[in-house]
Structure 1
Amino acid sequence: MVLSLFPSPTKHLRPMHVETILHMKEGLGDTSYAQNSSLQRNSIETLKNIIINSALDVYISLSPEQFTFADLGCSSGPNTVTVAGEIIKKIGGICHKYSIPAPDFSVMLNDLPTNDFNTVFVNSPEFIQSLKDFAEIDEWGHPSVFVAGVPGSFYGRLFPRRSVHFVSSCSSLHWLSKVPPGLFDEIGRPINKGKMYISHTSPPEVAKAYYKQFQGDFSKFLKARSVEVVSGGRMVLAMLGRRTQDHSDPSTTLLWELLAQSFDLLVSHEIIEQEKLNSYNVPFYAPNIIEIEEEARKEGSFAIDYIDIFETKLNASGDARKDGKVLAMAIRAIQESMLSHHFGGDIIDALFNNYTELLIRSMEREEIRSVQIGVVLRKL
C-alpha cells in the first residue's frame, strides 16, 4: 500500500498519510460517527435487497460449507453488522426450510487501522446472540458465526487467495488512497486555491488529477479482490457518484463548496491563514457509471451484473434547520480526523457552526440530494 503525502510547499503544511489519518469519529459521544451515521444507514437500506439477494445467489450456486462475507469500510456504530446479520438470517432461513445444515459464517470486518474497532467489538456478543435462531448451534450452545476485524487498506490485499464468497462495501470507495499528486505545480504551489475538491472554478488539471487517482485506486481494488474472491462470488459496491460527465456537477460538489465557504469565513476572521486553506485537498472522488464500467472492463476479472444510480433526499424531514444540523453532524463525524490533522482541532466547532448555517440556508432554497452508484460484480 502506498501511503499518501501532500507535497510540502510551505512550512505550515503537515503531511497527511490517509491510511493513518482518515477515520470516522470514534466512540459513542454526541459528535461520534456511531451517533451520526443515519445517512449511511439510509444508503444501505436503499441497496439492502440487492445486497442480500446477491449474497443468497452466491450461497445457492456454490453451497459452501463455510460462507465468508467481507464488509470493506465497515467503520463502527449500528450500521456495522446490519448487512451481515440480514445475510446470515436469510441463508439460515433457506437452510431451515430445506432441512440442510447451515454453513459456518465467517464475517470479516475491514477498515483502516485507525478505525474504532473497540466500539465494533463491544457490540459483537450482542450481534452473535441475536443470530441464534437463524444459525446452527454448536456443542457449546453458540451459533456458528465467527467475526473478525481486518485492519488495512482495501486498495491492497486483505484476505487469502480464493477465500471470500461475498463482498459488500457501502459509502467507502469514494475515498481515495491519497490526495492526487497533480494538485501542486512543479515548485510545490497549490493550483486549486481556496477549494478542497473539484469546483467549477478549478483549472482542468484538477479534475484530471482526481480522475487519474481514481483510475489507479479502483484498478488496485479490483485486482486485490480478484485474487481473494472465489469464482462465482459477488461484490456489491455502493459509492457516492455523479450522473454526468461534468466533474463539477453540483449534485456532487455542493457540499464541498459550502465547506469551502465555511473556511472562507474563518479566513476572513483571521482564524486560519489563506495559505493553509489553499494547501488542503481531500482524498475523495465521485465517479460516474461510465468510469466505473471502464475500469471493471480493463481489469477483466469481474462481470457487471447490475449497475444503477440511486438518489437520497437529504432534506429528509422537510425542516431545513433540523435537516441541516443532521447533515452537518454527519459530515463532521466523517471528516473531523482529516481537518484536525491539517488545521488543528481548535477550529472544528467554529467551522461546523458556519457549515450548519450555510446548509440550512441552502436547504431552505432548494432540495439537496445525494447521488449514489450501486454495482454488482460477479467473479469470472
Structure 2
Amino acid sequence: MGTGKRGLLTAALTVVCAVTVLAAPGTAFAAPAPTPAPSGSPTPPPSRDLEQVRAKLDKLYHDAAVATDAYNAAEEKAKQQSAQIVALAKKIVEGQRKLAALKDQAGAAARAQYRGGGLPPTAQFLLSDDPGQFLDGAGLVLQGQQATKHLIGELTSTQKELREYADDAAAQWKNLDADRKDKAAAKKRIQQQIDAAQKLESKLEKRDKERLAQLEAQAALKAQTAWLDTGILKKIHGKASAQGEKAVAYASAQLGKPYVWGAEGPDSFDCSGLTSRAWAAAGHPIPRTSQEQWKQLKHVDIKDMRPGDLIIYFDDASHVALYVGDGAIIQAPRPGRTVTVAGAGSMPILGVVRPDA
C-alpha cells in the first residue's frame, strides 16, 4: 500500500476511533451545527422537509443497489453460460470429427465385404479350392464381424452424444438470452432510480445540499453510536488471517475511487465489486454479489468477526463492506460517492460472513 493511501486510511480510522470514544455509553456529543444562512437569503426548507428528501434518496439508492445486485447476478450467469456454450461447441466439433472418422471406417468395412462377394461363410467354405485355408481365415472373419458390430455401436453412441450436446447448447442459448433480458431490465431499473435521485438532488440549493449531507452524517453517526452503545466493540478481538490482511490492504489502496454500479475495478467499484476484488487479490475468489456472498460464505457471529470479514447490510443483503477493525469498514457506498471508511454500525447489519473460513 502506498504511503498516501496508508495515511488516508490511518486518518479515516482515527476519525472512526474518535467517534467510538465520543459515542461510548454515557458520553454526550454535539451534532454538527447547520451552516447559518446569509442575511437576506431565502428561508431554507425546514429540517423535516430535508429529512423527507434524505429518506427518499436513501430509498432510491437502496432500490438502485438491489437492481445492481440483480444486474451483477445476471452478468455472472451470462459469463458462465457463455463458457458452457463454448465448451459444448468444442465437444460438438470433436464429436463431428469422430463421427466422420467412424463413417470412413464403416465405408471401408462395407467395401471389403463387397469385394468378398457378400457370400455367407458356409457358401465360401463349399466353393473354396482350399477349405483348410478358409478355416484358418474364419477366425479373422469373426473378428471382422465383431469389429463391425463395435463400429456400429460407436457410431450410434457418437450420434447420440452429438444430439445431447446440441440440445444442451440450445438450452444454454435460451438461458443466456433470458439472463441478458434480466440484465437489461435491471440496468433500466438502476438508471431510473439513479436518475430520479439525481433529479431530486438537483432541485436543492447548495446550502440545502450541505445541510442534507449533515443530516446524512448525523444519521450514520446516530446508528454507529447505537451500535457501539451495545458494548459490542469490547467483545470483538479477532485477528486478521494472512489472506484477510491482504484483502484489507487491497481495499485500503482503493480509497477515494468512485462508486460505479456494476464495476469491479480497477478504476471504480460497486459495493460487492470491491469486496469480491479484494478477496480475489488475496488469492481467495468469492461470489460476485452481496446476496450470493451472504448465501454461500460461512456466517460468523458479530462478536467473533475479524478484519477481512464481510459485513452484509439490510434485510435483503443489498449492501456489503469489508471490516477493517476498530469498529470500521471500507465500503463503496453509492452513486456519487467514493470508496471510503465508515462506521461498521452506520447501517442496519444483517450479519457477517468469512470468506476464508
User: Shorter-chain TM-score: what band?
Assistant: under 0.3
Higher helix share: 2
Larger radius of gyration: 2
**TM-score normalised over the length of structure 1:** 0.23
**TM-score normalised over the length of structure 2:** 0.24
Higher strand share: 1
